[in-house]
Amino acid sequence: MAITFYWYPKCSTCRNAKKWLDEHNVAYEAVHIVENPPTREQLENLYKISGLELKKFFNTSGQKYRELGIKDKMKTVTEAELLDILATDGMLLKRPLVTDGSKVTVGFKEADFENNWL
């Protein structure tokens, strides 16, 4: 199974997730989420596969999220518009974002990683 690991190297959560993957000998392709963010189409696909609410894909504690007032936009714009916003900047994405094309995890929780990537 080919795993894509979207991460931001300066993010401690991402580093912890990478360490977990390495310790468990899980093969992955690391992709810098800011330099090479997923496209809008990829994000839509990941969102549909995940079964999660779209707001789970947003880095709600990020500066960019606050600057753009996305919390308020969540209540007024369409899902398509939120995907468009999400695709504009990798810093808006909650990370790490991990997928094998049929499963997706957003953020790092050891239990989620154990259930999905072992």
**Per-position pLDDT tens, the chain of length 118:** 689 999 999 999 999 999 999 999 999 999 999 999 999 999 999 999 999 999 999 999 999 999 999 999 998 999 999 999 999 999 999 999 999 999 999 999 999 999 999 9
CB 4 within 8 A of CB 31: yes
What are the structural domains of the chain? 4-117 (3.40.30.10)
